[in-house]
Structure 1
Amino acid sequence: MTLEILTSEILSPLRHGFFTRRGGASSGVFEGLNCGPGSSDQSEIVAINRDRVATSLGVTSAELISMNQVHSAEVEVVEATPTEAPRVDSIVTDRPGLALSVLTADCQPVLFADHSAGVIGAAHAGWRGALSGVLEATLDRMEKLGAHRSDTVAVIGPCISQSAYEVGREFYEEFIAQEPGNQRFFTRDDGEKLQFDLPAFGLHRMRRAGIGQATWTRHCTYSDPERFFSYRRTTHRKEADYGRLIAAIRL
């Protein structure tokens, strides 16, 4: 099976993609394109999957840069192929030939580009990272490389949608404590259960920060098991582990 790659017109003509689970070599609960070395999948199979992604982007596996994601607002500028994955949740570069990638399984994968300045970024934005400011921090670091946020575009890839994202009262209160207006991103379906709109929150943070254009692909990871891995779906099904989706962009 060939790879299925979701792309966006606003990131084109840069080589990029939000890869679904289709077209990979993994089996079992990881069936498809599991690109997560942190999973319990066979490491050699994960390497094959990552090789396929790199080839589709026209780079080597070493040039497909990943992060050791920790749900932070930390950003790293990548100037060359690192010896090990930086412990951050966003990476940016102005160096042609490098592909920046992010791994997710419900969190937001966000790809950035300022086409005229030749600067790109990739961010992992779960609720904690988004609340902490990882999206704004990415724009800040891109500007230090010569980007202009008013010329920068960003696309949020497949992530969990509001209808599938039930959260608790403490979760809600943490958002409201930062800004009372954040209540707009929560709904109550029966007066008790709260559901959070992660991609709407991500779009809000980027637009408020002055980005030129930002959009979401409108794909829900939880509700489409044929195409996407989902941490929450795996938890509900009581499965042993889950695969990781990859999104990447290169100059």
Structure 2
Amino acid sequence: MTFGSSLLAAIPGLRHAFFTREGGISKGVYQGLNGGLGSNDDPASVAENRRRMAEQMGVAPERLLSAHQIHSPDVVVVTGPWRGDKPRADALVTRTEGIAIGVTAADCGPILFADASARVIGAAHAGWKGALTGVLESTIDAMENLGADRCGIVAAIGPLIRQHSYEVGSEFVERFLDADAGNAVFFIPSTRAGHAMFDLAGFIRMRLENAGVLMIDDIGVDTYSDERFYSYRRSVHRNEPDYGRHVHAIALASE
């Protein structure tokens, strides 16, 4: 039902999971473990799916927290369950035990962070826009504000759309080249004229390394071609009305 990072798994007192579709009760296009509160799935099914994920993370359902994601570089420091509406952000960090912080994704990059010595964790939702505008760097900065040291941070890149599945247009390429001509290395030609294939995972790794995080574990799974995962792009290509979302989470176990 989950994938894990060997680097994160080696840290005592830490739980994490990159959840697949397996083990849930949703039906139809959401078949499986849909954790997307923003989807049009039956809310009761989503709630039960998230309860099951919380149980695996070792927390109560109300302590499995995710934000209202907006493809931004914005980060929220978590100290307890939300009071009122969820914050609008794309990364969460905490040093509070017994809380699972997570991001939802269905092709975008989920990145889980941990500093074992400082006991500080983070979770970031890095689609192309968030990665380009600094969500990874914002997450690392916020972790350091809680006492982490970027040299001691482990980062795990979870299931996301991989280069062989990620065709983009010329305007997309130009946006990245305008930001930094060196970003050309993350594109290879597509079979379609005027298009290219984008390496989101490679771009994320580069941004992490440039920010000083060098202990990086890439799970290496492609959400588009692997039916165990939800994929926004696959749903579009199949003309499906909606798609499920994964929750990928990390938690400091209560001592």
Shorter-chain TM-score: what band? over 0.9
For structure 1, the 5+ residue unaligned runs are none
Matched to 2:104, the amino acid is: L
CA distance in 2 between partners of 1:60 and 1:68 (Å): 20
Matches within 5 A, 1:201-240: 201-225=203-227, 227-240=228-241
Does the residue aligned with 1:181 lie in a helix, a strand or coil? helix
CA distance in 2 between partners of 1:200 and 1:245 (Å): 21
1:8 aligned partner? 5
Matched to 2:94, the amino acid is: T
Percentage of pairs with the same residue:
51
1:44 aligned partner? 44
CA shift digits 1:42-87 (9 cap, x unpaired): 0000000000000011100111011100000000111111123210
CA distance in 2 between partners of 1:128 and 1:25 (Å): 32
1:163 aligns with 2:175: no
1:203–1:215 contact (8 Å) kept in structure 2: no
Give the TM-score normalised by structure 1: 0.97
Alpha-carbon RMSD across the aligned residues, in angstroms, is 0.8
Does the residue aligned with 1:54 lie in a helix, a strand or coil? helix
- Cα displacement (A) at 1:166: 0.4
1:67–1:89 contact (8 Å) kept in structure 2: yes
Matches within 5 A, 1:178-193: 178-190=179-191, 192-193=194-195
Across the two proteins, how many residue pairs are aligned to each other? Answer: 247
Matched to 1:43, the amino acid is: P
1:128 aligned partner? 129
CA distance in 2 between partners of 1:67 and 1:80 (Å): 13
Matched to 2:213, the amino acid is: I
CA distance in 2 between partners of 1:21 and 1:246 (Å): 10
Matches within 5 A, 1:1-251: 4-12=1-9, 13=12, 14-83=14-83, 84-190=85-191, 192-225=194-227, 227-251=228-252
Does the residue aligned with 1:38 lie in a helix, a strand or coil? coil
Does the residue aligned with 2:7 lie in a helix, a strand or coil? coil
CA distance in 2 between partners of 1:205 and 1:86 (Å): 25
